[in-house]
Structure 1
Amino acid sequence: MSSITALGLVLMLLMIAVGGRQGWSAFLSLLLNFGFLFFAIILIAFHVPPMMVTLMTGVIILAITIFMSEDDLRTTVTAFWASVVVLLVLVVLIYLVEHWAMAQGFGLEDSDDLEGMSTAIGISYLKVIITTAALSTLGAIAEAAMAIAAGLTEILGEHPDLSDNRLMQSGMEIGKQIIGTTLNTLFFGFFGGLLALFIWFAGLNYSFGTIVNDKIFVSEIIAVLISFIAVIVTVPASTMIMIWQKHRGIDKDEVVK
């Protein structure tokens, strides 16, 4: 048994022990998301337009993540549509930022690993990095949307006649409570993932200007900043869609079967 298999089994057992049926559903959603990500890589390798793959895969992963993690219809529908709206906005933003930054492709630090290999794969690296940046934000978007939607659902359950302005204020208050933790999670994930690269930079006596202009560093910091923006935008988006759902009169007790 490999270490990855062992850790996967430990994760599954802990998720079931702590979360019960919901934990098992979350573990299944993790496996399904991995499968769809792998399928997206295959599609891009076969020259399917990366932007189309990004949108299709992003929507599918958001649906799996959200609808398999909660049974309340009002919460899941609100979180899903908010996540889709944020994803569409981010794809446009990512395209503009990545086109301007020109950080696609491989950096000088990858030259040893790529020695003897051809990088002429017939696919635009700009489109590939847009796909990478967009898909890397999905977890943060879904988490923030679910937190806001679940909190507002509880509030509407206690105060069904709450005005739109008060509901908007409540959503922003919930957002203030989760933004700090989420942003720190994203930051330390970024820093931990690139710690070896930072040590390498220090060992090679890279100047600050060289580091901030390094292609690997720039592409990663762009992805993190995009994730920050995604979390912040998700807060008002989820709140406004919850208000819209309230006016549509969705029964808060209806359960997805």
Structure 2
Amino acid sequence: MGHGHGHSHTSGPLVLPDHEARRVRFVLAAVIVPLVLAAVVGMVVLWPRGEGSPIGSRPFAAPGASLETATVTSLDVDDCRQAAASLGGSADASLLADALCARITSGAGKDLVLPVHVPTESRRVADVGDRLQVMYTPSALAGGTPYVFVDYQRQLPVAALGVVYLVLVVAVAGRRGALSVVGLLLATAVLVLFMIPALLSGRSPLAVTLVGSTTMMLVAVYVAHGISVRTTTALLGTFAGVVITVGLSLWGTGAANLTGASDETSVTLMSLVPGLSLTSLLTCGMVIAGLGVLNDVTITQASAVWELHAANPGLSRARLFTGGMRIGRDHIASTVYTLAFAYAGTALPLILTASLIDRAVVDTVLSGEIAEEVVRTLVSSIGLVLAIPVTTAIAAALCPTTAAPAAPAPEPDPVADPGPDSGPREVRRGRHSA
């Protein structure tokens, strides 16, 4: 905490006296420095080392196959059926029923227009000019074409959206917006370079979650908002919310008998990474999913308390807390349904599929797949709700309390309340003017 905190801790008009600044710096340093040290030590201890990284250890393509690129030229496979036959493939219509024509743009078949097998669900959105990723398998030539659809190439539209996002953030939020993007990138680096490798290497998911979440918060918050009393207050509130969320998610997954193996991806992951606990991984996901919203409300809540203090430095800590909680209730009301809608949108295909089954509504909601989303929403919401009064209490405790200045004595009215010497003089003046 720099010396500048002794004078201005916020972007607003709040200025603390030097003795109050020293008190606040001491209290925050006594809490935040051990938290930073714990995060650093935790990352050093949990960092995967001495063993090969499991990331990228599984080949994407089968032996002899390669990943290539192509561009759709026609949705009618008849336009390129003869090209496949000229390469020695079969021209049987049944073997090419789900294919379309594409110009191969890399690999051995570059510049050839050949059939590409595309699944029905992916073919519905295909159009001429779309760029594809395809798997080239030479041994499949006898089946009509050696090229099979893998995915669409999305680099251009995603990059365009990214550029628009960056431009708008910087244009609207200025330097603070640019710093928030930098904080996001650094927090993402913690997730990708530390948390994912540590989880795949068999480290304790609970320990990785606490250390990783703390590090992500420290980096993102301080880079985006700067090192100040306000941001440190919000950071402490966020950390309290994370601890609460971790505890609730551990209890919730155990009490509700959630296995974490509710979809095919989870089952595949368990087979590829022996010893990985899907239940613990579910807990980790619950914490990370609510981290952004949790930090958002604590930053806003801490700012609200400090602004109340700046507007009226004479408010007691109890008044600051009650005033801040009036604002916090609005935060709770808005963010709770924000979380619910976010999770509902993510699980919408699952909800629609479950709705087609002739089953009681309660049983459907409490089925393994949907129950995970319900518990995730409830756990994150409870952590969010409890983080608001914790943040408000911390902010109110750190605000200096000063006695309200005494109201100045009113000017005496010489007519209504004449002094001992002015009475006769005023009377004589009145008589003279009469």
CA distance in 1, matches of 2:299, 2:239: 13
Q: Deviations over 1:104-133 (max 9, x none)?
A: 2222xx349967982662112221111111
Secondary structure in 1 matching 2:260: coil
CA distance in 2, matches of 1:248, 1:163: 6
1:198 is aligned to 2:351: yes
Structure 2's unaligned 5+ residue stretches are 1-154, 403-434
1:141 is aligned to 2:294: yes
The one-letter amino acid paired with 2:167 is L
Aligned to 2:210: 55
1:103 is aligned to 2:258: yes
CA distance in 2, matches of 1:74, 1:43: 32
Do the aligned partners of residues 73 and 111 (structure 1) sit closer, same or farther apart at CA in structure 2, a change above 3 Å counting? closer
Equivalence map 1:1-257=2 (5 Å):
1-38=155-192, 39-71=194-226, 73-107=228-262, 110-111=263-264, 118=271, 121-246=274-399
The one-letter amino acid paired with 1:88 is V
Check conservation: 2:317, 2:401, Cα contact below 8 A: no
Aligned to 2:102: none
The one-letter amino acid paired with 2:178 is W
Check conservation: 1:26, 1:68, Cα contact below 8 A: yes
Check conservation: 1:22, 1:69, Cα contact below 8 A: yes
The one-letter amino acid paired with 2:237 is A
The structural deviation recorded for 1:202 is 2.3
Check conservation: 1:171, 1:235, Cα contact below 8 A: no
Check conservation: 2:261, 2:267, Cα contact below 8 A: no
CA distance in 1, matches of 2:207, 2:166: 32
The one-letter amino acid paired with 2:366 is N
Bigger mean CA offset, 162-171 vs 34-43:
34-43
Aligned to 1:253: none
Check conservation: 2:187, 2:216, Cα contact below 8 A: yes
Kindly indicate which of the two structures has a greater share of residues assigned to strand.
Answer: 2
CA distance in 2, matches of 1:14, 1:138: 24
CA distance in 2, matches of 1:79, 1:117: 37
The structural deviation recorded for 1:217 is 0.9
Do the aligned partners of residues 210 and 3 (structure 1) sit closer, same or farther apart at CA in structure 2, a change above 3 Å counting? farther
Asked which structure has the greater RCO (Cα within 8 Å, sep 6+), the reply is: 1
Kindly indicate which of the two structures has a greater share of residues assigned to helix.
Answer: 1
Do the aligned partners of residues 121 and 202 (structure 1) sit closer, same or farther apart at CA in structure 2, a change above 3 Å counting? same
In the superposition, the TM-score normalised over structure 2's length comes to 0.53
Do the aligned partners of residues 72 and 62 (structure 1) sit closer, same or farther apart at CA in structure 2, a change above 3 Å counting? closer
The structural deviation recorded for 1:90 is 2.1
The structural deviation recorded for 1:205 is 3.7
Do the aligned partners of residues 161 and 112 (structure 1) sit closer, same or farther apart at CA in structure 2, a change above 3 Å counting? closer
Q: Deviations over 1:10-37 (max 9, x none)?
A: 2111111111111111111222222222
Structure 1's unaligned 5+ residue stretches are 250-257
CA distance in 2, matches of 1:73, 1:21: 17
CA distance in 1, matches of 2:266, 2:260: 14
CA distance in 2, matches of 1:126, 1:204: 26
CA distance in 1, matches of 2:239, 2:266: 37
Q: Which has the larger radius of gyration?
A: 2
The structural deviation recorded for 1:240 is 1.0
Do the aligned partners of residues 240 and 196 (structure 1) sit closer, same or farther apart at CA in structure 2, a change above 3 Å counting? same
Check conservation: 2:332, 2:385, Cα contact below 8 A: yes
The one-letter amino acid paired with 1:155 is L
CA distance in 1, matches of 2:362, 2:232: 45
The alignment-based identity, stated in percent, is 25
Aligned to 1:252: none
Check conservation: 1:66, 1:76, Cα contact below 8 A: yes
| RMSD (CA atoms) | 2.4
CA distance in 1, matches of 2:268, 2:309: 59
The one-letter amino acid paired with 1:35 is A
In the superposition, the TM-score normalised over structure 1's length comes to 0.87
The one-letter amino acid paired with 1:236 is P
CA distance in 2, matches of 1:248, 1:56: 35
The structural deviation recorded for 1:72 is 6.7
